[in-house]
Amino acid sequence: MSNSKDILTNSFSSSAHEVTGNLLKRTKGDKVIWAIVVVLTMVSILVVYSSIGSLAYKMNKSTESYLFKQIGFIALGVLIIYFAHRVNYTIYSRVATILFLISVPLLIYTLKFGSSINEANRWIKLPVINMTFQTSDLAKLALFMYISRQLSRRQNVIKDFKKGFLPLIVPVIIICILIAPANLSTALLIGGTAMMLMFIGRVSLRHIMLVVASALVPLMLLILVATHYYNKEDHTSKDLPSILTFGRMSTWIKRVQDFMYSDKSDASYQVQQAKIAIAKGGLLGKGPGKSEQRNFLPHPYSDFIYAIIIEEYGLAGGTIIVLIYLLFLFRSIRIFQRCPYAFGAFLAVALSFTLVIQAMVNMGVTVNLFPTTGVTLPLVSMGGSSLWFTCFAIGIILSVARNVEQMEGKEPEPELEPVES
């Protein structure tokens, strides 16, 4: 009997090793990026478990249930990365237009009928599985795939305003306008990243500066309004006229005021608690699971998770996280430099820029370098659909890296030919 058990055990063990070996052999792409994914997801599990207590208490659930939920999200996310990186990246060029055309009506539907959370219609609820996701995540991914395709196809006319610039900027404007009413910070991040991508893609600097100047006008007006309606004597916000209370305008004004006058008594409660967490963390932190501000920060497991990282792991831990994201950007730029085809190069750098800029903005909000936003820390914040879209973007970057590795040392396969239009 014992011999039979040993045979079954050995057979199962050898099968498991064989499956693992086959997966490792089929896992290609930049090994450093794969390592970064592993490190950040491990950090996510540790910090989310540490910071989830207040939410678990509020929802009358155990912290372990949220831990296993996050592990499940991460496991599915890693599978998404694996399958996305196995697809030849030229396929994404073929579906870019379709995804972009799908994302536009989805954003319109979200604005009108989306689920309202924190006074913003950013989510739509999927039937059957009863799960919500932000349509802006899909739109952002689709937009950068589409822009990368257009940049690669219009290099011969890229300096021309009508043939080169307009086909690029119009989709950006459409997406940003549809996202801005519910999520201004995401719209600004998408617009800024798109401008950087166009600069890398040799778009005329004069055309780019024209768009930047046009975008700065409403931002400056927002700052002027926030300054005008702030009472500097008692450090409170003045009553806004009805014309400035539509949509989320009042929220934007309040956040700008909190940022500009953060040293005053009515500064944002979130920012104040984040500063306390950073001060308590010191150089080496209080230790894993020993955060105190997790009980006071409104969203310590998502928007302000970086504050919990610094409190528990100190300035040293926070610096390491910053360096990890910069390393991810550096490796993606290496892929951009090595890729022989324009679409793959633009796609890799576009998706890496948007993820790293999002991470820097999230961390910058925590240390009060930017006004409060609703963006999460990629691969670290607790999430569902946002985590999966991040994993899909990383999978696409690794797909480009995998194909670059395959093409080096042999004749590359033909990609989609650029066309003038």
Region 385-390: mean pLDDT is 89
8 Å CB contact between 154 and 137:
no
Asked if residue 378 and residue 274 are part of one domain, the reply reads yes
pTM beyond 0.85, yes or no: yes
Residue 272 has pLDDT above 50, yes or no: yes
In this predicted structure, which of 144-153, 252-261, 284-293, 310-319 has the lowest mean pLDDT? 252-261
Inside any domain, residue 415: no
pLDDT at 91 over 60: yes
Total residues belonging to the chain: 421
How far apart are alpha carbons 210 and 329 in whole angstroms?
Answer: 27
Q: How far apart are CA 408 and CA 411, in angstroms?
A: 8
DSSP secondary structure string for all residues of 331-398: HHHHHHHH-SSHHHHHHHHHHHHHHHHHHHHHHHHHTTSS-------TTTS--SHHHHHHHHHHHHHH
DSSP H or E stretch at residue 262: none
The Cα–Cα gap between 54 and 139 comes to 32
How far apart (Å, rounded) are the C-alpha atoms in residues 83 and 79? 6
The pLDDT, as a whole number, for residue 37 is: 95
Instruction: Specify the higher pLDDT residue, 163 or 240.
Output: 163
Distance CA 181, CA 253 (A): 13
Is 141 within the bounds of a domain? yes
* Residues 45 and 107 placed together within one structural domain of the fold: no
Same domain, 145 and 65: no
Domain assignment present for residue 50? The answer is yes
Residues 175, 63 share a domain:
no
In a domain, 199, yes or no: yes
Least reliable range by pLDDT among 148-157, 178-187, 224-233, 310-319: 224-233
Number of domains in the chain: 2
Q: Are residues 162 and 202 in the same domain?
A: yes
418 domain residue, yes or no: no
Q: Round to whole Å and give the CA distance between 301 and 317.
A: 17
State which of 54-68, 289-303, 386-400 shows the largest mean pLDDT.
386-400
pLDDT range class, residue 21, cuts 50, 70, 90: low
pLDDT for residue 247: 67
Quick one: which H or E segment has residue 230? Answer: strand 230-231
Q: Is 78 in the same domain as 100?
A: no
> Where does a domain end: 213, 228, 243?
228
Q: Do the beta carbons of residue 366 and residue 307 sit within 8 Å? A: yes
Statement to judge: residues 112 and 205 lie in one domain: yes
Please report which confidence band the pLDDT of residue 170 belongs to, taking 50, 70 and 90 as the band edges: very high
pLDDT at 118 over 50: yes
Q: Are residues 331 and 274 in the same domain?
A: yes
Residues 273 and 400 grouped into a single domain: yes
Q: What is the mean pLDDT of residues 274-285?
A: 89
Distance of CA 312 to the CA centre of its chain: 23
User: Hey, what amino acid is at 15?
Assistant: S
With bands split at pLDDT 50, 70 and 90, how would you rate the model's confidence at 416? very low
| Co-location of 121 and 55 in the same domain | no
Q: Residues 23-52: what's their mean pLDDT?
A: 86
- Residue 255 inside a domain? The answer is no
In a domain, 244, yes or no: no
What integer pLDDT is reported at residue 407 of this predicted model? 78
Of 200, 228, 256, which residue constitutes the final position of a domain?
228
Joined together, the tokens standing for residue 342 give 């324009």
115: part of which helix (H) or strand (E)?
strand 115-117
Domain range enclosing 61: 30-86+268-407
Domain-embedded: residue 19: no
Reported as a single tens digit per residue, the pLDDT across 287-314 is 988 888 888 888 888 889 999 999 999 9
